[in-house]
Amino acid sequence: MDKLQERIANYACNLDYKDLPPEIIHAAKVRVIDTLGCLIGGFFAEPSQLARAVAAQVSSPMAATILGTREKSSPEMAAFANATAVRYAEYNDVYQSPGGGGGHPSDVITPILAVAEPTHASGKDFLTAIVLAYEVLLRLADPARLDTRGFDYTNFICLTTAIGAGKVLRLSTEQMSQCISLAIVPNNSLAQARNDNLTMWKAMASGQAGKAGVFAALLARQGVEGPNLPFEGAAGWFTVVTGKPISLETIGGNGVPFRTLEARIKPRACCANTISSALATEKARATIKSPAEVERIVVETYAWAKDRSGTKEHHWHPQTRETADHSIPYVVAATLIDGSVGPRQFADERLFDPNMVALMQKIEVVCNPEFTKSYNRLPQAYCTRVEVVTKDGSKHVGEVSSIKGDISDPLTDAEIEEKFRCQCQEFLGKKRVRAILDSLWQIEKMDVLTEIPPAFVL
């Protein structure tokens, strides 16, 4: 084993539920609830349907549920289908390092569940595996800026899914070290998944990462040996993917805080880089009688948001839902017209609405150096100012920083429940939603997790 491989393997195998503080256990439960709500929010989308169709063709004696259905598949294919559905609506949690980078840690949750369900893991086992995956992911995401090297954040998802699944499978330290190698050497996703005009693969990349991570854990349990020196080798991760050595000198436990809470729960269904633009637009809209009065709009935001979501031609002419939810002009226009941004704002009929298209062309996105400084330091702030000038010459301004409703401010349990309810109640009904929430808030008391999948059958 190389040093990082050994460090992660030892940490993963030694972490125990009793090591987790109450607030971290609660944070993990919040993220389970939020993630399963997002799965229902993305369930009927075409990529989710296609992923389920492929997964349904596979049977396995170690059967895991394709969530939302009564169908079963192998754990790795259930992970693929379920993580794809979670990711589709662009509503699950997010972590952004100061200066950019990070990803969506909750991509790991349904793949880990796909192993926990058929192995009869307990709620405590499941929560411990989630905290473990989050901890390793967030600790690696800061020093390892994969996007600058042309690699996708889902490489973190593959690795940490493998570690979380391996924890549920109770791998030995030696098996866990092989699991790590089997995750990171064969699976290195390119950042092209999130560049130029985006396609349905944007969501499926998370499913693929979950699938690969689960598969790595299953191979390791069976006794498969991974490549030697996966991080430090001549063609290992440090040379090819990160471009530099990474260490984990500091990691949660023994008085060191766990980082689960640093993954932000999204208050709006769009890319994290666009959320502050949506929230600022909501404020500016409050004094505008009609979008038809708008003459021009200036969005001032931090450099990372502008570069990723307000620079290229396709941000003003999105051709897919996946591009639209990563577009500041689209999100601002949708908010001005509808008042907020949720999954319905990205339906096909809205994407090419002449009013939406015309309004986007009136939007200019500029970088504010002070906002960039606020984003690049700790505590991190997602500052954005939107100025709307109407045809009578009046100006309507909305601004957000670290305020209530910004993604740097945690949602309350009541707000978490309301977000879940908004995505699920139409399909599951009020009584079922209440019963599911009551059950998930007590997940640590479950001896097995087999009661979770049937509760979500649509």
* Phi-psi category of residue 421: left, alpha or beta, with phi > 0 → left and psi -120 to 50 → alpha: alpha
pLDDT surpassing 60 at residue 140 = yes
pLDDT surpassing 60 at residue 405 = no
**Using CA atoms, how far apart are residues 245 and 252, in angstroms rounded to an integer?**
20
Two structure tokens written together for 104: 């969506």
* pLDDT tens string 342-396: 988 999 899 999 999 999 999 999 999 999 999 998 888 899 999 999 999 999 9
pLDDT at 403: 54
pLDDT surpassing 90 at residue 299 = yes
Two structure tokens written together for 343: 């999954």
Per-residue pLDDT, averaged over 274-300, amounts to 96
Per-residue pLDDT, averaged over 121-127, amounts to 98
pLDDT surpassing 80 at residue 212 = yes
pLDDT surpassing 70 at residue 406 = no
Q: Which domains does the chain have, with CATH numbers?
A: 3-262 (1.10.4100.10), 272-400 (3.30.1330.120)
Contact 150, 204 (CB under 8 A): no
DSSP state of 392: T
Contact 334, 321 (CB under 8 A): no
**Percent share of the chain, pLDDT over 90:** 91
pLDDT surpassing 60 at residue 196 = yes
* pLDDT tens string 312-334: 999 999 999 999 999 999 999 99
pTM of the model: 0.96
pLDDT surpassing 60 at residue 261 = yes
Contact 180, 162 (CB under 8 A): yes
pLDDT surpassing 60 at residue 454 = yes
Per-residue pLDDT, averaged over 406-428, amounts to 91
Mean pLDDT of the chain: 95
